[in-house]
Structure 1
Amino acid sequence: MGSITPYDTANGRRYRVRYRKPDHTQTDKRGFTTKREAERFLASVTIAKATGDYIDPSLSRVTVGALAATWLASKRPPVLKPSSYLPLKTAWHVHVEPRWGQRELRSILPSEVQAWVTELATTRSPSVVIRALGVLAGVLDMAIDDRRISRNPARGLRNLPRRSGRKRRVYLTHKQLLILARVSAHPTLVMVLGYCGLRWGEATALRVRHVNRVRRRFNVEENAVLVRWQIHVGTPKTHERRSVPYMAALTPLVDAVCEDKEPDDLLFGNGKTHMKRENDDKSWFAVAVRRAQKIDPTIPRLTPHDLRHTAASLAISAGANVKAVQKMLGHASAAMTLDTYSDLFEDDLDAVAAQMETAAATGPHSVLDVSALLDAEQRFGRF
């Protein structure tokens, strides 16, 4: 099982524990101040070896930086999309590596990680802090999987910065959307975004061959995302292709942008290069918003992504069920759709009640004969 031997130091007697690791090599641990403490350690090692939970202390001497390269490599595209991988890589180099890169795994304490998070939160947004913590925790999770450490000091922290409340969503009415499209340099794109709920990257990645003009469908198969001024084309956000219908009223517009183009040409823009979403006040979309506001001052400031919210709002107002809206938007689940647009479905409850009242009040046997119900309440309520 092992042995315990005493030895003398300038500070008094100490105890050394010698034992064999699961690979049968011998090692020891010294510095125990009492024999009972040494016996408890030897007993814990014996149990850990018997249950398969033994952690070799020598493996925990590796630095966080030595493992981070392997962890980041495991996240590279195509495992993660470039737009998801780059923020992790940046968080490692900017926030995590300077503080933890040279630290040995075994030396990190939860209190130190908590202090780092608290300090970082004084100068960085909650999203940046949580992402940086997630990178450190991910590297340490890999160390646990490799049986280098037994617990993750970056997990289970009690005090984390809270993200700000849900951003105010912008929803346009049918009339406002039409005004915006009419004064836009790309009216068909505005209408598609506002009525089909495509993400910007999905819409700008559409090709002529993705349009089924017989069934009036957009087959969403690609997503063009701008990452560090470079367009990366990949699968849609949830990695699942979907078919999104468009209204018959949009048929002339869709036919017009398909005209004189080859099947592999992009539907929007010049047909050859993907349109980039510009966020400055001089972009075509910002100019269109200002023009629309002059016509209708009630039109709020908005971005192209807000047209996706508009599409959800208009679909829900038209009576679409949650599952249909989920499929249109390409959400991973109906629960996600409900969570994202809970405010819209709450408002829709009033409409549901009104529709039920209308249905109940029609026909020869209306259930809303209030006088008869009150009479029944008085006659039978006592039983």
Structure 2
Amino acid sequence: MSGTVSAYETAAGKRYRVRYRKPDKSQTDKRGFRTKKEAELFLASVTVSKARGEYLDPALSRVAVAQLYETWIIGKKSLKPSAFAQLPIAWRLHVEPKWGAREVGGILPSEVRTWVTELTQDKPDGTKGRSATVALRALGVLAGVLDVAVDDRRIARNPARGMKNLPRKPKRKAGRVYLTHDQVHTLAAESARPELVLTLAYTGLRWGEAAALRVRSVNLLRQRLHVEENAVQVDGVIHVGTPKTWQIRSVPFPKFLAPLLERAARGKGPDDLLFGDGTSHLRPPRYGTGWFEGAVARVQARDDQFPRITAHDLRHTAASLAIAAGANVKALQRMLGHESAAITLDVYADLFDDDLSAVSANLETAAREQSVGKSWAALLA
């Protein structure tokens, strides 16, 4: 073996030290083994790991989690602003107090599992536990930082990955609100920005995508909106970037919208913003006192059956109206800018479920039309 085992005396009795050379030929040692056999087994494992190219320098594993966080968070700046903003908050509130000073090599999976569980539990002083979403985000930050340690060969495996029985995020609430055509037009007529309400309800654009539309984005002849930017408000600041899934797309709009979009573009240059003053991006309506909620409240004052909705619910309404008009899953995915058709099906499964009865009825009709003169009773005999 490329190393030696030697005994030495301590106040607690005899202990053993292992001296060996690292792959870079520098010498190091590890002491404190209670028996010679333990020391020899350790030396054997080091010898095998060096032969396989799997050796990890113990000195590298003594770096603190907080030191690697800085490297990790820099690599996350390519995320969308709204996604990135949550990471430093999770680190500051939940990860750093527990793990910031800990050495990466001393963290055990059982410790991480206990920490995640404790995050979601109510405290003896009456403080409510954190939601599963918050706990899983904090775990994701810790796991991401420890991935850096694995990549740098500081630790062999990530103790925050591959965990079972983690808290579950709540499923989407049933009963999502979808407006009818009549309700959409009633709301638009009552609002201060009817062209924007109708655009959201009939194209499914996210608020930030609509706010970032420019005059050149509108093709009146083909009835298309070219979506290539997204203006998202994070901590009161508007960040302009690519759409949520990084996919530039062309979205159709109904012909009746053309005059309203033409009016919104009147007097503006090609690069001016379509909605608003042409220069400043429209901000999302203020909660409680914004123009959108004001319009909803006025409609509800006349119609107590009108649902309480947000501006984002108009995106869901657009999906509902498109499916009712015959849009298939792939077309709806492209319209809404989802990363995959599977996501579209997951989000709007309730709408497609409602369509199953219609599918059954259409199959019945088609089968009867194509089998005129044939006896189905004979097939059943």
TM-score range normalised by the length of the shorter chain: over 0.9
Structure 1 segments, 4+ long, off by >3 Å, are: none
Query: Which residue identity does 2:66 align to in structure 1?
Result: G
The offset of 1:279, in angstroms, is 4.0
Determine whether 1:305 maps to 2:308. Answer: no
- 1:44 aligned residue: 45
Q: How does 1:307-326 map to 2 (within 5 A)?
A: 307-326=314-333
| Offset at residue 34 of structure 1 (A) | 1.6
- Specify which of 223, 233, 256 is matched with residue 249 of structure 1: 256
- Give yes or no for the alignment of 1:61 onto 2:66: no
2:117 corresponds to: 118
Aligned to 1:132: 138
> 2:301, 2:378 → 1: CA distance?
58
Letter in 1 for 2:240: V
Q: 1:174 aligns with which of 149, 168, 181?
A: 181
Amino acid across the alignment from 1:237: K
Give the count of matched residue pairs: 372
Q: What per-residue deviation string (whole Å, max 9, x for no partner) do you get for residues 235-275 of structure 1?
A: 11111110001111211111111112221221112222111
Larger deviation: 325-334 or 293-302? Answer: 293-302
Structure 2 residue identity aligned to 1:107: G
Q: Which runs of 5+ in 2 are unaligned?
A: 122-128
Tell me the distance in 2 between the aligned counterparts of 1:103 and 1:230: 35
Q: Tell me, what secondary structure is at the counterpart of 2:334?
A: helix
Q: How does 1:321-340 map to 2 (within 5 A)?
A: 321-340=328-347
Out of 156-165 and 299-308, give the one that drifted further. Answer: 156-165
- In the aligned structure 2, how far is the partner of 1:193 from the partner of 1:207? 15
Q: Could you tell me which of 220, 223, 236 is aligned with 1:213? A: 220
**Do 1:176 and 1:296's aligned partners in 2 also have CA atoms closer than 8 Å?**
no
SS in 1 for 2:276: coil
Q: Residues of 2 paired with 1:194 and 1:330: CA distance?
A: 15
Corresponding position of 1:142: 148
Residues 1-383 of structure 1: matches in 2 within 5 Å? Answer: 1-76=2-77, 79-122=78-121, 123-168=129-174, 169-362=176-369, 365-366=371-372, 372-378=375-381
Q: Give the alignment's TM-score, normalised by structure 2.
A: 0.94
**Which secondary structure does the structure 2 equivalent of 1:336 belong to?**
helix
Gaps of 5+ in 1: 379-383
Residue identity in the other structure for 2:156: S
* Displacement after TM superposition at 1:357 (Å): 2.0
Query: How far apart, CA to CA, are the structure 1 residues paired with 2:89 and 2:23?
Result: 39
Q: Cα offset for 1:322?
A: 0.9
Alpha carbons 1:202, 1:236 under 8 Å: kept: yes
Counterparts of 1:158 and 1:358, CA distance in 2: 49
For residue 43 of structure 1, what is the amino acid of its counterpart?
Answer: A
CA distance in structure 2 between the partners assigned to 1:342 and 1:49 by the alignment: 53
Whole-angstrom CA distance in 2 between matches of 1:366 and 1:58: 83
How far off is 1:202 after superposition?
0.1
For 1:156 and 1:321, locate their aligned partners in 2 and report how far apart those are by CA, in whole Å.
Answer: 37
- One-letter amino acid of the structure 2 residue matched with residue 330 of structure 1: G
| Change over 3 Å in CA distance of 1:60–1:376 after alignment to 2 | closer
Q: Distance in 2 between matches of 1:377 and 1:232?
A: 65
- Report sequence identity in percent: 60
CA contact (8 A) 1:18 1:28 kept: yes
Structure 1 position 278, deviation (Å): 2.7
- Give, in whole Å, the separation in 2 of the partners of 1:326 and 1:309: 12
1:150 is matched by which residue type in structure 2?
A: A
1:276 positional shift: 0.9
What is the alpha-carbon distance in structure 2 between the residues aligned to residue 164 and residue 13 of structure 1?
Answer: 56
Where 1:362 maps in the other structure, the secondary structure is helix
Q: Which amino acid aligns with 1:232?
A: H
C-alpha contact 1:106 1:149 (8 A) present in aligned 2:
yes
